Amino acid sequence: MGVLCGVMGLGLGGIVATAWRVQVEDGPEWRDMAEKQRQRRLHVEPKRGTVHDRNGAPLAVSIEVPSVSADVVEMLRGLDRGPAQEAALHDAAARLAQGLSLDAAEVYEKLAQRHRFVWIKRRVTGEEAELVRDLGDAKKQARPVHGLSLEAEGHRYYPGRQLAGPVLGFVAPDGQGKDGVELSLDEELRGKVEEVHGLRDRSGRLIFDGANDTRALQGDDVALSIDEGIQHVAENELDAAMHTYETKGGSLVVVDPATGELLALASAPGYNPNDYAESDVDARRQRAATDRFEPGSIMKPFLIAGALAAGTLKPTDTIDCEHGVYQIAGATIHDTHVNDVLTPTQILARSSNIGALKIGLQLGEPALYANYRRFGFGEPTSIPLPGEATGVLRPRGRPWYDGETASASFGQGITVTTLQLAMAMSAIANGGKLLEPILVKRVTDGHGDTVREASARVRREVVPPSVARTVAEMLTAVTEDGGTAVEAAIPGFRVAGKTSTAQKVDPATGKYSSDKYTAVFVGFVPVEAPRLVVAVVLDEPTIGRYGGDLAGPVFRRVAEASLRYLGVSRTAAPPKTSSLKRDVDIADTTLAMTRPPQPPPPSPPSAVQGPPPPGSVRVPDATGLGARDVVLAVSKAGLVPRMEGWGRVVRQSPAPGSAAARGTAVRVVLEPAS
């Protein structure tokens, strides 16, 4: 008994000593091991952020689609090694290949590696996902395929299909953004990979801790300055022009000149990011920012603005245009129309190359180059899109010669982009301030907090406000009678703009081609308080070639629809030329000659007919107004509009100016314009 008690005492002492070592001395290590066993850490790929337009309409969203994976160890559990397992793998491969439209040999090759996880097919359809569920259901299959799983994966979807495709870009299957905003803002949209902690049950399944915030597990949302409605109009009109005139391509930019916000960026041809694999690589290019071209006569407004600001030119000056032919540096310069003595306004209206080169030579090579640089040519606009071109002003390392200075004065020998033209014209429209273009309006995180928000940023003042207003008034002559772009005129609005029909260089000969042109129109409207700047570029039209005839109508339709969309009312006010008014001002005379005569404004009905009887109001004149303007005018008068048809008002009852009791219905008949 003594020996037995001694042995038991020694054993008990060993147990106590071991317990002391495990619980006290080695306790922290065992606790860490226990925590690792019951806790699990996952690196979670966040959901990609959504891209919206300026009004919150989704342009690019991430949705979850099923993908099929397999646990081969679970698939073969309970089967003897050898022929039984091989037969099971071949059977599973054949049935999966048939249901998922795959090659059976390739599926078997994946299963034969016998990994715990292997992708069978990613991003399957709903029908394929249901078939996979049926394959693993013992109630529906005599020989169910075990170990199959449906994993939810993020997939990028573009609700507008081809709408703004080159602007948005696309996302590759690996989750990386490619092209457009998806590439330039990839880091913000993807977000940061988060490490998630949580408990797991006896089967190893993760039980998320309630402290985890799932809102943080997603990328930032991006709101663009693009307006879905205006973008749709711009793309439709550009695509129609491309097919009508059989052009090689085209680009169109719509800018708010007061803020620099890009309301539309259209390229033709475009593509559908949902089916990017089936698109041509050339169609994915955002031509407005990446394509360079010789601008031609579109540079003349910036030339004249620089000369006026430098004091080398006055609006009243007259310039001898040499009857349409001029020799300089061994080259002969021709005007499209025979011109003799012209004012700066007439040079713009008739697009005289000889008049422009004389202004440029008088300004001088250094000042002309500096003037173009002030307007943003030859440097990037800093738009957040990949592949932006800077354009070329002159050969590196040397100034222009006289012949090059002359050609640069009317836009030859230099290259620009559509976006640069739009921003430069915005500087004239807004009073002389060159703004940075805004494409990304706002970025918000998963909590809805604003990460950053864009605001108007002035890069520099290019010309004084008085010079900008003077040039704007001069440019109205281009779109009125006697100008080169009467097709760009919009009824009810004063339009300022400039055309260009620039010859393209033939790469084979190195000389200007006789049949390849770039048709351009850039303008803004309304002149008094510009709301839109629209730049249209059509590359190599086959049917026609002149910018006023081809690009002008595209400008008119896009601007007119956009103004109506924005709720900008038409005005019947006569042209305003007060900023140019001087004693014996030849420029004013030119403006008066190039505009059609304006009828005197009618007197208000109340001034002729006296005040309406008590309890009644005068019926407003709705003739020529659109539906929205009719509702505003009639409702403001205290009457009820009753509209028939669509288009513009051609008849109304009661008659304009007549007295009617408040609440009376006014019947208006609208018909489409001829």
Nearest to 553 by CA among 313, 181, 245, 220: 245
Asked if 297 is an active-site residue, the reply is yes
Cβ of 346: how many Cβ atoms within 10 Å? 27
User: Which secondary structure element, helix H or strand E, spans residue 305, and what is its range?
Assistant: helix 300-310
Calculated CA dihedral for residues 595, 599, 601, 604, nearest 10 degrees: -160
Token pair 């010859």: residue: 503
Cβ of 404: how many Cβ atoms within 10 Å? 18
Nearest to 301 by CA among 476, 459, 458, 457: 476
d(CA 419, CA 160): 23
Nearest to 376 by CA among 462, 288, 291, 475: 462
Cα→Cα distances 531→39, 237, 317, 425, 545, Å: 59, 19, 31, 12, 28
The catalytically annotated residue of 69, 225, 279, 297 is 297
If DSSP states are collapsed to H, E and C, what string results for 369-382? HHHHHHCCCCCCCC
Instruction: Write the CB contacts of 658 (distance below 8 Å, at least 6 apart in sequence).
Output: 618, 619
Greatest alpha-carbon span in the chain:
138
> How far does the chain reach from its first CA to its final CA, in angstroms?
123
Cis previous bond, 526, omega within 30 = yes
Token pair 């700066």: residue: 344
d(CA 164, CA 271): 9
User: Which of the 8 DSSP states describes residue 81?
Assistant: T
Per-residue exposure over 482-497, b if at least 16 CB sit within 10 Å of its own CB, e if not: ebbbebbbbebbbbbb
Instruction: Write the CB contacts of 542 (distance below 8 Å, at least 6 apart in sequence).
Output: 245, 246, 247
Strand ranges (DSSP E) for 107-209? 118-121, 148-157, 170-171, 177-178, 194-200, 206-208
Q: What single letter denotes the amino acid at residue 630?
A: V
Strand partners of residue 159: none
User: Which of the 8 DSSP states describes residue 612?
Assistant: P
Token pair 């719509």: residue: 254
Nearest to 467 by CA among 619, 311, 591, 630: 311
Q: How far is CA 183 from the centre of its chain?
A: 14
User: Which secondary structure element, helix H or strand E, spans residue 249, and what is its range?
Assistant: strand 249-256
Cis previous bond, 672, omega within 30 = no
Structure-token pair, residue 278: 């089936």
Active site residues: 297
